[in-house]
C-alpha cells in the first residue's frame, strides 16, 4: 500500500477550549491533505460558528468532525498515537521531532495502520495520563526564550510535516540549459573587443588583470561587489560614448 492510497493520520484535539482553534486546525489540516478531526470533550458547542469562520472553507474536514466523550473513545481505531507536547515529561517514551514522527506516520499508513496525532488543551496541554496513551511524544523545537505556538499552529506544523512527505513530488521544472563554453567565450571575446576599441583598459597590465576578472566573472556566473563596480564602469564608458554622440547631435 502506498502512502497516497493509505488513510491519512487523524488529528485529535483533547479538551479544546476555543472553537476558533478547531476551525483553524481544520484549515491547516486540509492544506496538507489531513481530513479527519476528532474533538474530545470540547469546552465549546458543536457545530460552532467561530470554528466554521476560522476553517475558511475546509468543509471536507468540518463536516466529518467527530466528537468523543473521552480520549479512549476517540482512539478506538487508532493503532499508533503521537502526542504533541511542549514540556519535557517524566514519561518513559521516545521523544521525536515532528519530521521524524511524520516519517513514521507515512510508513505506518503505508502498511494500512491508522495513525493519530494528539494535541492537548490550549492552556494546560496534555495530562500525564493522556500522554501516557501515546507511543511516542513529539516536541516542536522552538526558541527557548519564546515558546508560544498556539494549538492551531502546532497542528499546522505536524500537518505540514505529513504533507511534505505526502505531496512533495520530484517534478521541479528543469532549469534552462546553460550557455556552452563556446558561447560564453564568444561573449567574453565580443566584450573585450569592444572595450579595446574604446581603450577601456588604458594600460597593458590593467588589461591583463581586468580581462581575467571579466572572463572569470562571466564564466563563473556569480558576481562580487568589485565585479559589479567593474561592470558598471564598463557600461559607463560604453554609454559615455553614446552620450557624447547625442550631445554632439
- Contacts to its own copies from residues 214-243, by CB under 8 A: 218, 221-225, 227-228, 231-232, 235, 238-243
Q: Which is nearer to its own copies, 47 or 141 (CB)?
A: 141
Least distance (Å) between residue 243 CB and its own copies: 8
Q: Which is nearer to its own copies, 13 or 32 (CB)?
A: 32
Q: SS3 breakdown of the chain: % helix, strand, coil, rounded to 5?
A: 50, 10, 40
Least distance (Å) between residue 1 CB and its own copies: 19
Q: Which is nearer to its own copies, 68 or 218 (CB)?
A: 218
Q: Which is nearer to its own copies, 5 or 143 (CB)?
A: 143
- The number of beta carbons lying within 10 Å of the beta carbon of residue 232 is 10
**153 forms part of the interface with its own copies (CB under 8 A):** yes
Count residues binding its own copies (CB under 8 A). Answer: 74
Return d(Cα 14, Cα 90) in angstroms, integer: 20
Least distance (Å) between residue 210 CB and its own copies: 16
**97 forms part of the interface with its own copies (CB under 8 A):** yes
- DSSP 8-state symbol, 145: T
Q: Which is nearer to its own copies, 41 or 191 (CB)?
A: 191
Cα angle 205, 239, 223; round to 5: 60
Q: Which of 77, 123, 146, 204 binds its own copies (CB under 8 A)?
A: 146
**88 forms part of the interface with its own copies (CB under 8 A):** yes
Q: Which of 47, 72, 112, 141 binds its own copies (CB under 8 A)?
A: 141
Q: Which is nearer to its own copies, 120 or 200 (CB)?
A: 200
Least distance (Å) between residue 45 CB and its own copies: 25
Residue-by-residue DSSP string for 50-114: HHHHHHTT-HHHHTT-EEESSHHHHTTT-SEEEEE-SS--S----EE-HHHHHHHHHHHHHTT--
Question: Cell 493522556 appears where?
Answer: 130
**190 forms part of the interface with its own copies (CB under 8 A):** yes
Give the CA diameter of the chain.
90
Do the bridges between strand 95-96 and strand 36-40 make them parallel or antiparallel, or are there none, so unpaired? unpaired
Q: Which of 14, 18, 30, 62 binds its own copies (CB under 8 A)?
A: 30
Return d(Cα 4, Cα 110) in angstroms, integer: 8
**149 forms part of the interface with its own copies (CB under 8 A):** yes
Secondary structure (3-state) at 37: strand
Q: Which of 186, 196, 206, 208 binds its own copies (CB under 8 A)?
A: 186
Q: Which is nearer to its own copies, 45 or 174 (CB)?
A: 174
What backbone torsions phi and psi does residue 179 show, to the nearest 5 degrees? -60, 150
Amino acid at each position: 500500500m502506498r502512502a497516497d492510497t493509505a488513510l491519512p493520520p487523524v488529528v485529535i484535539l483533547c479538551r479544546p477550549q476555543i472553537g476558533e482553534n478547531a476551525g483553524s486546525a481544520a484549515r491547516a489540516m486540509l492544506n496538507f491533505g489531513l481530513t479527519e478531526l476528532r474533538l474530545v470533550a470540547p469546552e465549546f458547542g458543536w457545530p460552532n460558528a467561530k470554528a466554521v469562520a476560522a476553517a475558511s472553507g475546509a468543509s471536507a474536514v468540518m463536516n466529518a468532525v467527530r466528537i468523543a466523550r473521552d480520549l479512549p473513545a476517540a482512539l478506538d481505531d487508532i493503532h499508533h498515537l503521537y502526542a504533541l507536547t511542549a514540556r519535557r515529561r517524566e514519561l518513559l517514551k521516545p521523544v521525536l521531532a515532528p519530521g521524524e514522527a511524520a516519517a513514521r506516520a507515512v510508513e505506518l499508513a503505508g502498511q494500512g495502520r491508522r495513525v493519530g496525532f494528539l494535541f492537548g488543551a490550549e492552556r494546560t496541554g496534555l495530562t500525564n495520563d493522556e500522554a501516557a496513551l501515546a507511543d511516542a511524544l513529539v516536541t516542536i523545537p522552538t526558541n527557548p526564550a519564546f515558546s508560544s505556538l498556539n494549538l492551531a499552529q502546532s497542528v499546522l506544523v505536524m500537518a505540514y510535516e505529513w504533507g511534505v512527505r505526502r505531496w512533495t513530488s520530484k517534478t521541479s521544472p528543469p532549469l534552462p540549459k546553460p550557455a556552452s563554453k563556446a558561447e560564453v567565450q564568444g561573449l567574453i571575446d565580443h566584450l573585450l573587443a569592444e572595450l579595446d576599441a574604446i581603450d577601456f583598459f588604458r594600460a597593458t597590465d590593467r588589461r591583463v588583470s581586468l580581462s581575467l576578472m571579466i572572463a572569470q566573472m562571466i564564466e563563473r556566473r556569480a558576481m562580487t561587489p568589485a565585479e559589479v563596480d567593474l561592470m558598471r564602469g564598463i557600461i559607463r564608458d560604453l554609454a559615455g560614448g553614446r552620450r557624447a554622440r547625442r550631445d554632439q547631435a
